[in-house]
Structure 1
Amino acid sequence: MPIYMDRHDVSEEVTAEAVAKLHQEDLKIQHKFNCRGLTYWFDDKRKTAFCLIEAPDEQSLINMHNSAHGVVPHRIIEVEPSIVESFLGRIEDPEKSKNVSLNIINEPAFRTIMMTGLEQLSYLDTEIQSLKESINKINQSISATIKSFKGRVVNQTSDYFLVSFESVSHAINCAVQVQTDFNQWKEQNKLDNIELKTGLSAGVPVTDKESVFEDTIQRAERLYYISRAKIVITNEVKELYQSENQNVSFQPDIISPISPNDEDLLHNLMDYMESIWTKHSFHSNDLSKELNLSKSNLYRKMTSITGESPNAFIKEFRLNKALSYIRSKKGNISEIAYETGFGSPSYFTKCFQQKYGVSPTDYLHLLDI
């Protein structure tokens, strides 16, 4: 049967004990609706509860809640138990509460999500095999650091780690340690063509999106995308960290918080880019109109947030997509050029060579080394 996670937004008067009692009422009658309550999370600070339930369908879950106590969920999504466990650390009641009759669980489902990974800036004059070995060593170091700060690796590729933390302090301190270690390694090995990128966001598993932590992951991904040798964090992560570490200040050369207004602009920018970037006729004037900014304001805002002019950002966006397409061998070079919004294969090759130091064809050959 499918597994669902639901969200309940409760009033300020609701306690962990009250939520535990409601959960027990569900368990008493769940068999009548062919449901099985696996566990739940309750956040007393944010007044949210999340239930993990096996059920034939969403309506059966709603009927069970309604019949048991009348408190129906505000949102329900279908989930994969393994993914829930990777983010939240469990899919059943914690050991400390299993042998208690009321089974009170006062444990938030709120998590800080970090995306961190390496970006190769060029492939010119590079010993590929040696570089691969170095990257593997760096990734092993990152993995060990994540573990030491109690992070849970949700997803890992050769390029990045997606990590879940219960503690925002652990997340920030982990990111700083990873960045510090990388900077030392880079200096020791005198390599300027690799950069570490890191973005951090925070949130709850069920929102108006369809997947677990979907919008939190998206925010972390977008901050990761614009990070340039710094750790970019949301304003919420900044405030949470400062509330836990009142006498500790951020290192401006390592951590770069993004303001709420700039974050909103970034998301509007990325939403639009993802909807239109394949059209070769699309250019910076379209961005001005979509974001309702004059050309000068758009330039100022984008260089401040992303470090690039509008035109450079559009080209960089397309080149990143093209690089991904070549890696996955999604068509030949000419096909990829057109699919990623370049007007011609020759122009695509010119832009690719300028950025990475090799032609798309040569890069394709490097992949097989």
Structure 2
Amino acid sequence: MPIYMDRHDLNDAITAEHVANIHQEDLKIEHEFGCKGLTYWFDDHRKTAFCLIKAPNKEALIEMHNKAHGAIPNSIIEVDPNIVESFLGRIEDPVKAKNDTLNVIKDPAFRVLMFVDIPLSKLNAGNRESRRTKLRSFHRLLKEQVKSFNGRMVKDSMFSSLISFQSVSDAMSCSLGIQSGFRSLSGNAEAFRLKIGLSSGIPISEREGIFEDTIEMAERLSKVVNGEIVISSEVKELYQSENLNKSIDQNLVRYLNPSDEKFLKIFMDFLDASWNNPSLKVDDFSCSLGLSKSQLYRKIKSITGVSLNLFLKDYRLQMALKLLDRQHGNVSEVAFDTGFNSPAYFSKCFYEAYGVLPSHYVKDHD
């Protein structure tokens, strides 16, 4: 039977005790609708509640809520319980305190997500065994740091990781620890680059996946924005609130203001939808984003550190890497599929970026 998570936007008068009583009302009649309430999260600060419920379909879940207390969910998504647990730490009610007649859960589902990215470069594309040895050492370091700062590993692959934190201070401290340990481990700061993005949010937004908007922003901050550790404006505000307006060392951490975050989202949404179009031009970006060429150039340069043309080429090369890793097709097919007009030009750009021809890269990864 599917498992769903729903979101309830509550008014300011609702307390944790109210939500606990509502949860109990669901449990009393859940059998009538073939449902089983697993647990919930309540955020008193943001006045949101999230229920985790096993149900035959969304309609049964809504009918159960409506009969039990009338609080209809604002949103519902189907979820994988293992993924929910990796983000939030549990998929059932915490053990009730002794002598408590009501199990009041004061546990918000709001999380700070860290995306760690190790982009492939010409200095780490070759010498596969040496690269893997260093990456294994780094991942041991990463797991140690995540454990030390109460993080939860959601996904971990060779060149990227996704980690969930309840505390923004833990997330920031872990980021700094990872970056410092990484420099010591790599020896040469140029041999391996490490980029970290921190974003924050709730499990359900307007998207279908759990924490989808927050994951997307954390990944874009790490992969797109110029800086080793890049944080969202909300993470910055939360960190300073938790630490009595303690200043952030801008030599170590970069943060975007809300207008730059909005631009980044619009820009990357457009790019994600059109990057493989070989006729894509600067004019297309200008028209879509409503900026002149000079405004667009300054904005892109400020956020990414490079020109739009160079950023587009690098983006296409990164997508080509993914296709080659998946054995999507031969080199010529990948060249055309990623927006390059010529396989020869693609091979030239690939070699300049990664220090290896795409044909040799494919053989090395067979």
Judge same fold: TM > 0.5, yes or no: yes
Which residue number corresponds to residue 7 of structure 2?
7
**Aligned mates of 2:319, 2:267 — CA distance in 1:** 16
Question: What secondary structure, in the 3-state scheme, does the structure 2 residue paired with 1:252 have?
Answer: coil
- The superposition leaves residues 66-100 of structure 1 with CA deviations (integer Å, 9 ceiling, x where unpaired) of 11111111111111111111100000001245873
What amino acid does structure 2 have at the position aligned with 1:306? T
Is the Cα contact below 8 Å between 2:7 and 2:48 reproduced in 1? yes
- The superposition leaves residues 116-141 of structure 1 with CA deviations (integer Å, 9 ceiling, x where unpaired) of 13223214895331222011101111
Q: Which of 282, 285, 295 lines up with 1:284 in the alignment?
A: 282
Question: What secondary structure, in the 3-state scheme, does the structure 1 residue paired with 2:247 have?
Answer: coil
Which residue number corresponds to residue 83 of structure 1?
83
What amino acid does structure 2 have at the position aligned with 1:246? L
Tell me whether 1:253 sits opposite 2:251 in the alignment: yes
Deviation of 1:286 after TM superposition, in Å, equals 1.0
Alignment of 1:337-356 (within 5 A): 337-356=335-354
Deviation of 1:336 after TM superposition, in Å, equals 0.1
**Aligned mates of 1:346, 1:246 — CA distance in 2:** 56
Q: Which moved more, 1:354-363 or 1:326-335?
A: 354-363
Is the Cα contact below 8 Å between 1:230 and 1:253 reproduced in 2? no
Q: Taking structure 1 as reference, are residues 55 and 194 closer, same or farther at Cα in structure 2, changes over 3 Å only?
A: same
**Aligned mates of 2:64, 2:261 — CA distance in 1:** 40
Deviation of 1:361 after TM superposition, in Å, equals 1.0
What amino acid does structure 2 have at the position aligned with 1:112? V
Which residue number corresponds to residue 271 of structure 1?
269
Normalising by the residue count of structure 2, what TM-score does the alignment of the two structures yield? 0.97
Query: CA RMSD for the aligned pairs?
Result: 1.5
Q: Which of 283, 303, 306 lines up with 1:305 in the alignment?
A: 303
What amino acid does structure 1 have at the position aligned with 2:318? N
Alignment of 1:328-367 (within 5 A): 328-367=326-365
Which residue number corresponds to residue 166 of structure 2?
166
What amino acid does structure 2 have at the position aligned with 1:143? K
Is the Cα contact below 8 Å between 1:5 and 1:53 reproduced in 2? yes
Alignment of 1:206-217 (within 5 A): 206-217=204-215
What amino acid does structure 1 have at the position aligned with 2:199? S
Deviation of 1:34 after TM superposition, in Å, equals 1.1
Which residue number corresponds to residue 233 of structure 1?
231
**Aligned mates of 1:231, 1:191 — CA distance in 2:** 15
Q: Taking structure 1 as reference, are residues 357 and 12 closer, same or farther at Cα in structure 2, changes over 3 Å only?
A: same
**Aligned mates of 1:97, 1:125 — CA distance in 2:** 54
Unaligned runs of 5+ in 1: none
Deviation of 1:351 after TM superposition, in Å, equals 0.9
Deviation of 1:227 after TM superposition, in Å, equals 4.2
Which residue number corresponds to residue 55 of structure 1?
55
Which residue number corresponds to residue 133 of structure 2?
133
- The superposition leaves residues 229-281 of structure 1 with CA deviations (integer Å, 9 ceiling, x where unpaired) of 51111000000000001253212121100111111111111111111111100
Q: Taking structure 1 as reference, are residues 124 and 149 closer, same or farther at Cα in structure 2, changes over 3 Å only?
A: closer
Which residue number corresponds to residue 151 of structure 2?
151
Is the Cα contact below 8 Å between 2:14 and 2:47 reproduced in 1? yes
Which residue number corresponds to residue 295 of structure 1?
293
**Aligned mates of 1:366, 1:134 — CA distance in 2:** 17
**Aligned mates of 2:245, 2:185 — CA distance in 1:** 30
Normalising by the residue count of structure 1, what TM-score does the alignment of the two structures yield? 0.96
Q: Which of 312, 315, 318 lines up with 1:314 in the alignment?
A: 312
Which residue number corresponds to residue 28 of structure 2?
28
- The superposition leaves residues 143-183 of structure 1 with CA deviations (integer Å, 9 ceiling, x where unpaired) of 11111111100011111110000111101110011011112
Which residue number corresponds to residue 101 of structure 1?
101
Q: Which moved more, 1:358-367 or 1:125-134?
A: 125-134
**Aligned mates of 1:247, 1:230 — CA distance in 2:** 22
Q: Taking structure 1 as reference, are residues 334 and 116 closer, same or farther at Cα in structure 2, changes over 3 Å only?
A: same
**Aligned mates of 1:165, 1:190 — CA distance in 2:** 30
**Aligned mates of 2:125, 2:55 — CA distance in 1:** 57
**Aligned mates of 1:247, 1:36 — CA distance in 2:** 44
Which residue number corresponds to residue 67 of structure 1?
67
Deviation of 1:64 after TM superposition, in Å, equals 0.7
Question: What secondary structure, in the 3-state scheme, does the structure 2 residue paired with 1:195 have?
Answer: coil
Deviation of 1:358 after TM superposition, in Å, equals 1.6
What amino acid does structure 2 have at the position aligned with 1:18? H
**Aligned mates of 2:282, 2:143 — CA distance in 1:** 39
**Aligned mates of 1:299, 1:215 — CA distance in 2:** 26
Is the Cα contact below 8 Å between 1:26 and 1:65 reproduced in 2? yes
Tell me whether 1:116 sits opposite 2:116 in the alignment: yes
Q: Taking structure 1 as reference, are residues 97 and 75 closer, same or farther at Cα in structure 2, changes over 3 Å only?
A: farther
